[in-house]
Structures are given as structure tokens and as C-alpha cells.
Amino acid sequence: MKLKKLANSRLFRQLFAAAGLAFLVPVGASLYYASSLADAYSVRQGETLHIAAALPITAVSTGETVSTAYTGASHDAAALRLFGIFPIKTVEVAPAEEVMLIPGGEPFGVRMLMDGCMVIGFGEVSGQDGGSCPGQEAGLIEGDIIREADHVPVTSSGDLREAASAGETMLLTVCRDGKTLEVKLTPVWSVTDAAWQTGLWVRDSAAGIGTLTFYDPEDGSFAGLGHPICDPDTGCRIPLGSGEADSVTISGSIRGRPGTPGQLQGYFSADAPLGTLTDNTSCGIFGTADALPETAAIPMALKQEVTLGDALILTTVSGGEPEPYTAKITAIDCRDETRNMIVEITDERLLAETGGIVQGMSGSPILQNGRLVGAVTHVFVSDPTRGYGIFAETMVRARTGQVRAGF
């Protein structure tokens, strides 16, 4: 009898533990989705919100409206539930048009003039009273953008030298972390160079190679890189004053290895410019194309339509024409601003030639199920077969200023 009671007691504990586990698993999954899913989604006219996920998630309209995080307008709200039972969270649902884009994949060169001069370092000036650095003493820091000197625009390092040549205290208008401030700087006469100097190292332009992501046939614009062009010394995003996109010929590549990123090698060709640059944003560089390619446009995927699994990337590692290479999307994050996906290269041809993702491939389009889902942005230094990607929807939203029909 005691053995029977003991067996019943053990069975009861096992059943109780199983029931608790069956409850905790969906609750844990609900908490995971609450933290990883976006708070706002766009849905095409006439469609309902469907989120591609490993477990079934239903979206039911709450009948309420919420203020959109994108435009300030009011849109419908939907309650997300796991298995239609376990609550996840309430999200905003905004209507959107179908966006058709021409995928890129070809390399392009960037020539940029800054909107001002960026402080990238400091040097000591040997004056009559010893060494000093006027720029540091004035309170300037690396990454500051000098826009004006005595209310005269500064568009190049030459403008700054000219302003300092009088040897008088200058009133500099400076942009720092999006805020404007004024700084007084007094040049020092260098006994070494026989000139008035500020002790500032500045940069007024930038150039590089990347990959075009898409063209928009609706307005003739283009997008590339999927990340900003930043100053190599300070890591700060470069403010675009003016610039152009140029044709590039890829002549080869340096293969990437764990710990050492590879890179595409190429040169600016003599062809006519591809277009004019208009913006350098955290989501990529944008511009207006002089001409559109004859390639057919394909639909852009909304972020909730991107799924784990097989994909293609379009990129150019030799010659002039982009080629498709197989890849897999292994992780999706709707909450991060730009690192929305992890992409793994599976194509043996690309692995043999470049080792995976290399510098210069940033902006390579990612295709899945016949749609443009995003672009490759960064390589994992420890594993060049993998890297980050950004949603195409995120890039379109940045390009349009979140205005166009829910974008």
C-alpha cells in the first residue's frame, strides 16, 4: 500500500511539473516576443497584420487608435497574442502602399564634401611662450563640426586657415551632438612654421567604395551602404554638404579570415557620375540617380514578412555585373534601429573567393521570396561568413522621412 501511495505521489508531482512547464513555456515565449517584436507595423491597404514567427502569433484589432511613432497621426491598434491565447503586447498598425524598388548590387564610389570641417585631432603649436594647443584650450573636442568662423561659412580646411591668418580671436560656430554652440579661439603664432595656427587637425571631405542597395523608380532616388559614412579617426557620422556617386570597377578582393576582415579592391572609373548625394543617415547614404537601370522593380518586404531561412544576396566581387549568392537569415530583431538581421553566407563560390562578407559589400541587397528584404551592412570580424543586415523598410523610412503613406 505504501509503495502504491509513493508511486501515486511521484506521478502527481510529475504531472504537476509537466503542467507548470506547459504553462511557463508559452509565457516565456510571450515575454520574448514582447521584447523582440516592434511596437509599430505598416500594413498594405486591404491586408491584415501577419507576423512571420516560429510560433503562431495572431493580431486582433482592439478597436482603438494610438498616436503613431512615425508621423504623429492616429492609427489602429492591434493586440498580439501567442497561440491566440497568451497576450504579448499592443502594437500600432499604419496603412502603407506597396513599394516597388529596383535592386542594386553594383559597386559605387562616394565623393563627399562635408557641411563644415570636422575636428579629428589636435597638435601642439610652438609659440614664443612655449608649446600650446589653442583648439583644446578653446574647449573643442574631436568630432566637433566647425560651421562658421566669425559668422562666415567654413566649407573647407582652407577657409579655417584663412580665418586664422589674421591672428585675432575668432568666434567659431560649432555643431556638437546635434546642438549648436559658439566657441572663442585665439590662434598662436608658430615660430616653427611662421604662421598663425589653431592646433586643430580637421577633415573636410571623404571618399570610399560601397554597394548600391536599390533605386526607386517612382522618384529616381537611390540608396546604398545601409549604414552611415563615418570619419575613420573619430567614428562620427560625416555631415554631408555635397557629393556625388561615381562608377567603380572592382579589380579583385582580399579574402576575409577570422580576426581580419577582407575587402573589395577597385578604382573609380572614367564613366559619368551615377548621381548626386543628398543624405548621409544612420540607415545608409541616399541620392538622386542620373539614370535608372533597366532591371525590373520588385516589391519591398515589410519587416514582419522577413523570415528565418534561405535568402539571396546580390553583390559584385569581380567584373561589373552583380550576381546572386545563396545565404541564410539566421536571426531577426525588429527593435534594433539598424541591426535587424544576421545573415550567413552559404554560397560556396562566394566563400571560396572572399571568405564571406568583406568591406565594400555593405549595401548588397538581400532578397527573399521575390521581395527586397534588406541590405548587408557589417561583417562579424570573428566570423566573416556572417554579418548584420538592415531591413529595406528601415532604409525606405529613413529616405522618405517617414512621410510617404505610412513610411
Domain boundaries, the chain: 28-96, 100-110+211-406, 124-198
pLDDT digits (tens, 9 = 90+) for 27-54: 777 788 888 888 888 888 878 888 888 7
Return contacts of 50-53, CB within 8 angstroms, 24+ apart.
Answer: 50/304, 50/305, 51/80, 51/304, 52/304, 52/305, 52/306, 52/307
Determine the pLDDT at residue 25.
Answer: 59
Determine the pLDDT at residue 349.
Answer: 94
For residues 214 and 225, what is the distance between their CA atoms, to the nearest angstrom?
A: 10
Check if 378 is active-site.
no
For residues 178 and 88, what is the distance between their CA atoms, to the nearest angstrom?
A: 36
Q: Which residue has cell 486591404? A: 46
390, 338 in Cβ contact below 8 A? yes
Check if 362 is active-site.
yes
Catalytic residue, candidates 227, 246, 253, 364: 227
Determine the pLDDT at residue 251.
Answer: 85
Determine the pLDDT at residue 314.
Answer: 97
Kindly report whether the global pTM for this prediction surpasses the value 0.85.
Answer: no
For residues 130 and 189, what is the distance between their CA atoms, to the nearest angstrom?
A: 11
For residues 86 and 30, what is the distance between their CA atoms, to the nearest angstrom?
A: 7
C-alpha cell at 94: 499604419
C-alpha cell at 334: 525588429
pLDDT digits (tens, 9 = 90+) for 158-197: 999 999 998 999 999 999 988 999 999 999 999 888 999 9
Check if 246 is active-site.
no
Determine the pLDDT at residue 283.
Answer: 93
DSSP letters of 33-79?
Answer: HHHHS-SEEEEETT-------SS-EEEEEEEEEEE-TTTS-EEEEEE
How does pLDDT run along the chain (407 residues), one tens digit per residue?
Answer: 554 554 556 655 655 555 544 545 567 777 888 888 888 888 888 788 888 887 888 888 776 655 554 445 556 888 888 888 888 888 888 888 899 999 999 999 999 888 899 999 999 998 887 889 999 999 999 999 999 999 999 988 999 999 999 899 999 999 998 899 999 999 999 988 899 999 999 999 888 889 999 999 999 999 999 999 988 888 888 889 899 999 888 888 889 899 988 988 888 887 778 899 999 999 999 999 999 988 999 999 999 999 999 999 999 998 768 999 999 999 998 888 889 999 999 999 999 999 999 999 999 999 999 999 999 999 999 999 999 999 999 999 887 665 333 44
For residues 60 and 83, what is the distance between their CA atoms, to the nearest angstrom?
A: 12
For residues 161 and 140, what is the distance between their CA atoms, to the nearest angstrom?
A: 16
The strand pairing partners of 209, in sequence order, are 109
pLDDT digits (tens, 9 = 90+) for 358-381: 999 999 999 999 999 999 999 999
Q: Which top CATH class is 124-198?
A: mainly beta
Q: Which residue has cell 568662423? A: 149
Catalytic residue, candidates 76, 336, 347, 383: 347
**Buried/exposed code over 390-406 (b: 16+ C-beta within 10 A; e: otherwise):** bbbbbbbbbbbebebeb
CATH number of 100-110+211-406: 2.40.10.120
CB-based burial label for 285 (10 Å; 0-12, 13-18, 19+):
buried
Determine the pLDDT at residue 265.
Answer: 86
Nearest Cα neighbor of 143 from 236, 75, 67, 63 is 236
Residue type, 372: L
